[in-house]
Amino acid sequence: MKILIADDERMICEWLEYCIADRQDFRSVGTAYNGEQALALFYETKPDIVFTDIKMPIKNGIELLKEIKKVSPSSLVIILTAFAEFDLAREAMRYGADDYLLKTEMSKKSLEQILDRAKEKLGNGTKEEVGDSGGRRYALIRDMLKNNVLSESNVQRMKDEGIRWRDEGLFALALWKKDVKEGFSLPDADFVHHLVEFEYNNLIYMLLGNLSRGMSEGKKEKFIYEYARRLSEENFCMVGVSTAIDRLVNVTDTVTEAVYSLGLGYYKEKIKVYTPGKSAKEIREHIEKNKSGFRQKIRQLYTLSRREFKESLEAEMEEASKGNMYTLYEFSSFCCQALEMAYMRFAGNELKLVHCMLQDEQSKIKNTNSFSEVKKIVDNFVNYIYDELDYDKRKFSKGVEQAVEYIKKYYSNAISLDEVAKSANLNPEYLSRVFREETGSNYSAYLTDVRLKQAAYLLSNTSLRVQKIAEEVGYPNVSYFSTIFKKKYGVNPYEFRRRE
């Protein structure tokens, strides 16, 4: 099998070539140091597998991935990424990347595992040539479903690509993409025909097909539900169903209903079959009606005081939990904007650090299929801003208050007691004594505690490398950081992250 390597770090390219050379079943057909060069080599060498870095000059790895998957969906693209780029790696997976290899954990053994998986996926070397019709077919379906009503030319294009859906008895089922894993299977049913499976978006997997001809409306609903129930029970997964429609040009209605149904499961969080309870037209009207109210809620958050902001957000979460207010995408968007609002208004002096957290949390929200998990993300982030980056000033004397404020602002620097005392206009010895009396800790222990709490949050809620986190919280020596972190939390930073 032919492999193309694209990375602007020559050392990485050389190491990959060295390891690939030991395998009789793989061979390197070229090395590129930017995305444009890689694409030219791809057309020239027609590789089975492409290893590509995400961040490259001229054309980045995601742009390269999109180009490759457009012309050759069956070619495997494996992303090379660092922890700090993991959000980009997740984005790449949404655009069709087949696997990823962490540079921070790169070893011959991990590469062997990647290659073995790739070999199995390619079926020992058999793959369709550039221009694969299956890839075009699924791209066409996703493109067509952006329209509320298909034109006759759209329908003809689908028929030309071998999509055999017909009028009468069209239905759709929506599942969470994460549930479509090894061992996933479809029930045997002689009343289901022309079933097509495809990834609808980063969260949802879709099944779309026809029922047998000649069924009454009551039988159609009964058979769709029965098929969905068996699918749910056999794979232990939620399923959102649509009603049956009888005109192929309205096939998007089935998808709208199935996605809406699955969205009810987002709030209920029970493994079962969910039905829409509304027509596609009513669902679209509901979404349209919500838009102005949604914008108004966001504007309102901007005007509220800090206390009112948190209270209003909690009330909004409580209302949303009923499941009849927001679709899952509206709720996801609301939460992302609320976090951004909290960051902009209340993050204080930690803007750079918290912005990194914000991006990670927003990415998690967009890729989470559970209301309670999203609520937990929102609560944790807002509480962190309110509780960790602030403190109750009323319990400290003015001098200690100024000292604590200085520590929380500059904890990532090598700040001494003398420096902190100077900022509070106090004698260092006097500050040392009153600081212990009022905070319950000596200066050194308090500073360490602030740093390690920040580190623990970053390890749990971001994909930053441990070395970078150590530097961010004031420990340029990662070995020393690991030692004191383990002393406080009982495990080293790497184990803490895996445990979380």
* DSSP code per residue over 327-374: -HHHHHHHHHHHHHHHHHHH-TT-HHHHHHHHHHHHHHHHT---HHHH
CA–CA separation, 41 and 491 (whole Å): 46
Contact, 203 vs 176, CB < 8 A?
yes
Q: Which whole number is the average pLDDT over 452-458?
A: 84
> Measuring CA to CA, which residue among 176, 280, 275 is closest to residue 229?
275
Does residue 106 sit in the same domain as residue 215? Answer: no
CA–CA separation, 494 and 154 (whole Å): 52
Does residue 160 sit in the same domain as residue 266? Answer: yes
Q: Is residue 477 part of a domain?
A: no
Q: Residue 136 pLDDT more than 80?
A: no
Q: Residue 133 pLDDT more than 50?
A: no
| pLDDT classification of 233: cutoffs 50, 70, 90 | very high
| pLDDT classification of 274: cutoffs 50, 70, 90 | very high
| pLDDT classification of 137: cutoffs 50, 70, 90 | low
Q: What is the pLDDT of residue 175?
A: 95
Does residue 146 sit in the same domain as residue 202? Answer: yes
Q: Is residue 263 part of a domain?
A: yes
> Measuring CA to CA, which residue among 338, 331, 385, 330 is closest to residue 357?
385
For β-strands 49-53 and 2-6, DSSP reports them as parallel
Q: Is residue 353 part of a domain?
A: yes
Higher pLDDT, 91 or 77: 77
| pLDDT classification of 90: cutoffs 50, 70, 90 | low
Among 122, 154, 171, which residue terminates a domain?
Answer: 122
For β-strands 192-199 and 204-211, DSSP reports them as antiparallel
DSSP state of 298: H
Mean pLDDT of the chain: 84
Does residue 86 sit in the same domain as residue 201? Answer: no
> Measuring CA to CA, which residue among 473, 466, 479 is closest to residue 411?
473
477-482 contacts: CB < 8 A, separation 24 or more?
481/455
Q: What is the pLDDT of residue 499?
A: 65
Question: For residue 338, what are its two tokens?
Answer: 């609320």
List 6's β-bridge partners, or say none.
32, 52
**Burial level of 418, CB count in 10 A (0-12/13-18/19+)?**
exposed
Does residue 314 sit in the same domain as residue 384? Answer: yes
Does residue 264 sit in the same domain as residue 376? Answer: no
Q: Which domain CATH number covers 238?
A: 3.30.70
For β-strands 76-81 and 99-102, DSSP reports them as parallel
Does residue 34 sit in the same domain as residue 79? Answer: yes
Does residue 222 sit in the same domain as residue 147? Answer: yes
Does residue 218 sit in the same domain as residue 250? Answer: yes
Ranges 47-56, 157-166, 175-184, most confident: 47-56
Q: What is the number of structural domains in the chain?
A: 3
How remote is the C-alpha of 215 from its chain's centroid?
Answer: 41
Question: pLDDT, tens digit, for every residue of 389-411?
Answer: 455 445 688 898 889 888 888 88
- Alpha carbon of 256 to those of 114, 176, 188, 469: distances in Å? 37, 15, 25, 43
Q: Residue 132 pLDDT more than 50?
A: no
Lowest model confidence (mean pLDDT) among 255-269, 434-448, 458-472: 458-472
Does residue 185 sit in the same domain as residue 77? Answer: no
Question: pLDDT, tens digit, for every residue of 188-225?
Answer: 899 999 888 888 887 899 999 999 999 999 999 999 99
| pLDDT classification of 354: cutoffs 50, 70, 90 | low
Ranges 93-102, 302-311, 426-435, most confident: 426-435
Ranges 88-97, 141-150, 226-235, 281-290, most confident: 226-235
CA–CA separation, 208 and 217 (whole Å): 18
Does residue 142 sit in the same domain as residue 157? Answer: yes
Question: pLDDT, tens digit, for every residue of 111-123?
Answer: 888 898 888 888 6
Higher pLDDT, 147 or 396: 396
Q: What is the pLDDT of residue 181?
A: 77
Q: Is residue 36 part of a domain?
A: yes
Q: What is the pLDDT of residue 134?
A: 47
Kind plus residue range of the DSSP H or E element containing 282: helix 280-303
Place of tokens 């597998």: 49
Q: Is residue 268 part of a domain?
A: yes
Q: Is residue 431 part of a domain?
A: no
Q: Which whole number is the average pLDDT over 64-74?
A: 86
Contact, 158 vs 251, CB < 8 A?
no
Among 226, 251, 276, which residue terminates a domain?
Answer: 276
Q: What is the pLDDT of residue 349?
A: 52
CA–CA separation, 444 and 453 (whole Å): 14
Q: What is the pLDDT of residue 387?
A: 65
Does residue 370 sit in the same domain as residue 272? Answer: no
Q: Is residue 10 part of a domain?
A: yes
Q: Which domain CATH number covers 99?
A: 3.40.50.2300
| pLDDT classification of 130: cutoffs 50, 70, 90 | very low
For β-strands 170-176 and 239-241, DSSP reports them as antiparallel
Residue-range definition of the domain harbouring residue 154: 133-276
| pLDDT classification of 126: cutoffs 50, 70, 90 | very low
Helices (H), 145-279: 152-160, 217-235, 251-268
CA–CA separation, 56 and 78 (whole Å): 15
Among 234, 255, 276, which residue terminates a domain?
Answer: 276
Query: What's the N-to-C CA distance of the chain in angstroms?
Result: 38
Q: Residue 185 pLDDT more than 70?
A: yes
Contact, 90 vs 54, CB < 8 A?
no
CA–CA separation, 150 and 156 (whole Å): 10
| pLDDT classification of 86: cutoffs 50, 70, 90 | low
Q: Is residue 499 part of a domain?
A: no
Q: Residue 388 pLDDT more than 60?
A: no
CA angle 283, 289, 293 (to 5 degrees): 130
